[in-house]
Amino acid sequence: MRTIGLEEHFVTPELVAYGASTSTVAKPQAWADASRRLLDLFDERIDLMDSTGLDVQVLSLNSPGLQAETDADVAVDSARTVNDFLAGVVQRRPDRFAGFAALPLQDPQRAAAELERAVVQLGFHGALVNAHTNGMYLDHPSQRVVWEKAAELDVPIYLHPANGVDLADTFSGHPELVGPMWSWGLDTATHTLRLIFGKVFDDIPEAKLLLGHMGEGLPYALWRLDSRWDFHNHHGIELDLGYPSEYLRRNLYITTSGVCDAAPLSSALMALGPEHILLGTDYPFEEMAATTDFIRSVDIDEDTRHAIAHGNAERLLRLPAPGK
């Protein structure tokens, strides 16, 4: 069975500094191992792919990536450089790698142009955005041009977590809750709901959003979201489709990254359907073998297993079949 992972991180030596704040949430040795693996693209990484049975990685720049850059011109130049670098990696091993573009959302017009260049000229299959860009979220009106370009190109935008702009008081005194174990998922789920209530998906119905970590908890909240949408004052917001769940079922695709557990997978399948779930390993922050063993052994029907492992990625990203 072919396997394609969609949340597969890398970094370049020039961009390592952007991820320095992430190291505070990891044990020193774990972060040292992850840092080494982020920089490696052809040696240990491919050996691990071979030994664990992961056929293809769709590579993306590690969090927080270009979203942490404060200078728009620097972000634009860095995006071109890192996307050209990634294109060279894919060109060297097109049998093992594909790419998601890094976008300089500090300048949405130029970000849309870079997305087009990355897809049309470099052969990428979408983009990955690491949370907010200096406090600007993807529902901001200035970012519509990026969503419009993604819809025009028929490629998804993968929304990946990073450190939030600030922290709610409920986290005070509990730094263990800050980071990928808890706060990042809440931030990313909330960011997604901003896209719905900010009417991004009303304005651009063809937009496709990817989330990792089995959907950051959203597939399990559909009934509650709709129930409370009926109950609450909408503050002047009217949704074309009526209910939040309709957008999550239509516009949202999720990956299994970092969640190798049958119970949430079963719930996600019931909530979104098998055509909206794809494979992801969250490498190097999770072990590849955990993901590949999980998808090969979890108790689901074989059509669903193949759809999650490779079929949905081939369709959504238009990835060529082996040998083509």
Q: pLDDT (tens digit, 9 = 90+) per residue, 12-36?
A: 998 888 765 565 666 778 878 888 9
In the chain, % of residues over pLDDT 70 = 97
What does the alpha-carbon distance between residue 160 and residue 216 come to, in Å, rounded to a whole number? 10
Looking up residue 309, the CATH number of its domain turns out to be: 3.20.20.140
pLDDT of residue 130: 96
What does the alpha-carbon distance between residue 189 and residue 205 come to, in Å, rounded to a whole number? 19
Domain that holds residue 311: 4-316
Q: Compute the C-alpha angle 246/249/250, nearest 5°.
A: 85
Confidence of residue 322 (pLDDT cuts 50, 70, 90): confident
pLDDT of residue 4: 98
Residue 322 within a domain: no
Q: For the chain, what is the domain count? A: 1
Q: pLDDT (tens digit, 9 = 90+) per residue, 100-123?
A: 999 999 999 999 999 999 999 999
Indicate the pTM of the whole model: 0.96
Q: pLDDT (tens digit, 9 = 90+) per residue, 236-291?
A: 899 999 999 999 999 999 999 999 999 999 999 999 999 999 999 999 999 999 99
Task: Flag whether pLDDT at 316 surpasses 70.
Answer: yes
Residue 45 within a domain: yes
Active-site annotation, residues: 282
Instruction: Determine contact, residues 306/279, Cβ cutoff 8 Å.
Output: no
What does the alpha-carbon distance between residue 205 and residue 324 come to, in Å, rounded to a whole number? 31
pLDDT of residue 20: 58
pLDDT of residue 141: 97
- Edge-to-edge strands of the sheet including 127-130? 127-130, 157-160, 209-211, 252-255, 277-278
Residue 30 within a domain: yes
pLDDT of residue 44: 95
Residue 321 within a domain: no
Residue 324 within a domain: no
Residue 323 within a domain: no
In this prediction, residues 214-231 reach a mean pLDDT of 96
In this prediction, residues 195-212 reach a mean pLDDT of 98
